[in-house]
């Protein structure tokens, strides 16, 4: 009797094991094998096709092993693109983690079939392309992390379709454009180190500044106040700026405007300095010319040329050269030597410079002799007791000749 019960229990166990193995989805197993075969990976990741998929490394199945529940392959050396038609067939998948690998290319569009997915972790890879539209259709997502990739384009407003989303991590990518107003109940949010611009919507301003750091043209919220030329990117009416905020923005100038005003002020200052310098220089030149003109303007004088040697002037008359009386100016008058006293004579400075020393002395003697003769004639006419011309009466001394300095 005991032997019969033992045989029956073994038979039942074999039946149950056979039923459990037969409940595995062959499509999901083939999809996993295709993914591993088409994606280069490290040797330590090996799946034996003869074993159940639920026993493979990184694979978890639900309680009845009817479907794959979780696929976690972080840091397993996966390289290249995620092949389409593989992971998209795991329709009952709840958790997918392929983080910290070297995956590249775009996220396959058949990810939209993972309608039961709750957590998607693809951070720290080399994925490219725009924000995948397939992800915005996963309405059951709770955690989405696609940070530290090479994703570009704008963050779509369709993120609001993920109504159950509590954590959104998009940092360290190359997203650009304005931040949409995300009204879902996020508790964790990060878009740091991107190329986003514009103002932070009020629905996201509750998060700390670290969540937006690294976006140079992003403003508002926990960051610096927005300038007046920024327009709020929020499409929702709730994010419309209040009149007080608009007045505060208008009262402040942008950095570019301040720089432009500073440069313009500096240029105007330089132009004014140059104008003042030019006027001072012009005035100085004009004043110098006037003073020189005043200095070179001679007084009213009478000039007379020297008669030739041996020919005394008759009756105080001038020589054959013209006698000039009055006010004179110019280079010619500046080159004359003028003798002022009675009947005076004059020499041209150019004549003195061209003449030799002997001729200059002879000219000086002629002048002295002419003055002595004129004095003697005047004395003879005034005093009959004086001797003949050229003689000095006894007891009187002749006036010494005056020296002439050329």
Query: For all residues of the chain together, what is the average pLDDT?
Result: 76
Residues 311 and 185 in one domain: no
255 within a domain of the structure (yes/no): no
Residues 225 and 316 in one domain: no
How far is Cα 381 from Cα 384, in angstroms, rounded to an integer? 7
Strand partners of residue 102:
79
Question: Looking at the 3D structure of the chain, how many domains does it have?
Answer: 2
Last residue of a domain, one of 236, 261, 276: 236
Confidence at 242, pLDDT banded by 50, 70, 90: low
| pLDDT at 25 > cutoff 90 | no
Task: Considering only the C-alpha atoms of the chain, give the largest distance between any 2 of them, rounded to a whole number of Å.
Answer: 201
Residues 323 and 207 in one domain: no
Confidence at 327, pLDDT banded by 50, 70, 90: very low
19-28, 50-59, 66-75: which has the minimum mean pLDDT? 19-28
Rg, the chain, Cα only: 58
Please check whether residue 160 is in contact with residue 140, taking contact to mean a CB–CB distance below 8 angstroms.
no
Confidence at 357, pLDDT banded by 50, 70, 90: low
Helix or strand holding residue 5 (H, E): helix 2-22
313 or 135: which carries more pLDDT confidence? 135
| 162 burial via Cβ count (<10 Å: 0-12, 13-18, 19+) | buried
| pLDDT at 218 > cutoff 60 | yes
Confidence at 118, pLDDT banded by 50, 70, 90: very high
pLDDT in tens, 261-280: 989 999 898 888 888 888 88
pLDDT in tens, 163-203: 999 999 999 999 999 999 999 999 999 999 999 999 999 99
E-state strands within 239-365 = 301-303, 324-326, 336-338, 346-348
E-state strands within 237-394 = 301-303, 324-326, 336-338, 346-348
276 within a domain of the structure (yes/no): no
246 within a domain of the structure (yes/no): no
From residue 12, give the alpha-carbon distance in Å to each of 52, 64, 161. 20, 17, 49
| 3-state secondary structure labels for all residues of 256-284 | HHHHHHHHHHHHHHHHHHHHHHHHHHHHH
Confidence at 139, pLDDT banded by 50, 70, 90: very high
Tokens representing 36 are 């591993």
| pLDDT at 391 > cutoff 50 | no
Give the CB-side neighbour count of residue 154, counting CA atoms within 13 A.
11
18-32, 158-172, 283-297, 386-400: which has the minimum mean pLDDT? 386-400
| pLDDT at 48 > cutoff 80 | yes
Q: What is the mean pLDDT of residues 40-45?
A: 83
Spatial CA neighbour of 156 closest among 239, 237, 241, 235: 235
Tokens representing 350 are 């150019």
Tokens representing 62 are 């639900």
pLDDT at 228: 65
Residues 226 and 324 in one domain: no
Report the CATH number at residue 157.
Answer: 3.80.10.10
Tokens representing 21 are 């193995």
pLDDT at 11: 53
282 or 126: which carries more pLDDT confidence? 126
225 within a domain of the structure (yes/no): yes
328 within a domain of the structure (yes/no): yes
Residues 203 and 331 in one domain: no
Q: Where in the sequence is the domain holding 201, given as residue range(s)?
A: 12-236
How far is Cα 88 from Cα 85, in angstroms, rounded to an integer? 6
pLDDT at 350: 63
Residues 20 and 160 in one domain: yes
Quickly tell me which residue has 């003028």 as its tokens: 338
Residues 310 and 203 in one domain: no
| pLDDT at 53 > cutoff 60 | yes
In degrees rounded to 5, what are phi and psi of residue 72?
-120, 110
Tokens representing 61 are 């199945």
Residues 307 and 227 in one domain: no
268 within a domain of the structure (yes/no): no
Q: What is the mean pLDDT of residues 133-153?
A: 97
| 3-state secondary structure labels for all residues of 9-56 | HHHHHHHHHHHHHHCCCHHHHHHHHHHHHHCCCCCCCCCCCCCCHHHC
Name the percent of the chain lying above pLDDT 70.
60
CA 121 to chain centre: 40
Spatial CA neighbour of 89 closest among 22, 137, 30: 30
Q: What is the mean pLDDT of residues 76-101?
A: 96
pLDDT at 311: 45
| pLDDT at 314 > cutoff 70 | no
Tokens representing 302 are 């009478």
231 within a domain of the structure (yes/no): yes
289 within a domain of the structure (yes/no): no
Residues 342 and 220 in one domain: no
Residues 145 and 34 in one domain: yes
Last residue of a domain, one of 205, 221, 236: 236
How far is Cα 372 from Cα 99, in angstroms, rounded to an integer? 128
| pLDDT at 331 > cutoff 70 | no
In degrees rounded to 5, what are phi and psi of residue 128?
-130, -175
CA 314, 319, 321 angle in degrees (round to 5)? Answer: 165
In degrees rounded to 5, what are phi and psi of residue 385?
-75, -10
pLDDT at 2: 52
């Amino acid at each position: 009797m005991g032997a019969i019960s033992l045989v029956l229990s073994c038979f039942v166990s074999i039946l149950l094991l056979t039923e459990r193995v037969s409940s595995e989805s062959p499509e999901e197993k083939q999809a996993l094998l295709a993914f591993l075969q088409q994606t280069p990976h490290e040797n330590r990741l090996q799946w034996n096709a003869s074993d159940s998929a639920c026993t493979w490394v990184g694979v978890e199945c639900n309680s009845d092993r009817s479907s794959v529940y979780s696929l976690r392959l972080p840091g397993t050396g996966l390289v290249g693109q995620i092949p389409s038609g593989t992971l998209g067939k795991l329709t009952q998948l709840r958790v997918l983690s392929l983080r910290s690998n070297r995956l590249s290319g775009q996220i396959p569009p058949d990810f939209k079939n993972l309608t039961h997915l709750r957590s998607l972790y693809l951070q720290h890879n080399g994925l490219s392309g725009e924000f995948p539209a397939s992800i915005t259709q996963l309405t059951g997502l709770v955690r989405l992390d696609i940070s530290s990739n090479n994703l570009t384009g704008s963050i779509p407003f369709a993120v609001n379709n993920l109504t159950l989303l509590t954590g959104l991590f998009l940092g360290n990518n190359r997203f650009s454009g304005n931040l949409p107003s995300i009204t879902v109940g996020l508790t964790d949010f990060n878009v740091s180190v991107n190329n986003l611009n514009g103002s932070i919507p009020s629905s996201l301003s509750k998060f700390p500044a670290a969540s937006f750091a690294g976006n140079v043209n992003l403003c508002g919220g926990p960051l610096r106040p927005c300038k007046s030329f920024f327009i709020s990117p929020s499409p929702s009416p709730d994010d419309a700026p209040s009149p007080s905020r608009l007045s505060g923005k208008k009262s402040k100038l942008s950095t570019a405007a301040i720089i432009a005003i500073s440069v313009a002020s500096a240029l105007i200052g330089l132009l004014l300095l140059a104008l003042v310098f030019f006027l001072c220089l012009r005035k100085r030149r004009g004043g110098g010319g006037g003073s020189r003109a005043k200095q070179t303007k001679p007084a009213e004088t009478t000039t007379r040329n020297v008669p030739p040697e041996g020919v005394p002037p008759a009756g105080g008359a001038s020589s054959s050269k013209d006698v000039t009386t009055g006010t004179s100016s110019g280079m010619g008058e500046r080159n004359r030597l003028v003798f002022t006293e009675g009947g005076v004579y004059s020499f041209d400075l150019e004549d003195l410079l061209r003449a030799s020393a002997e001729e200059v002395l002879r000219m000086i003697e002629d002048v002295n002799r002419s003055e002595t003769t004129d004095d003697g004639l005047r004395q003879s006419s005034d005093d009959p007791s004086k001797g003949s011309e050229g003689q000095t009466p006894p007891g009187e001394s002749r006036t010494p000749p005056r020296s002439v300095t050329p």
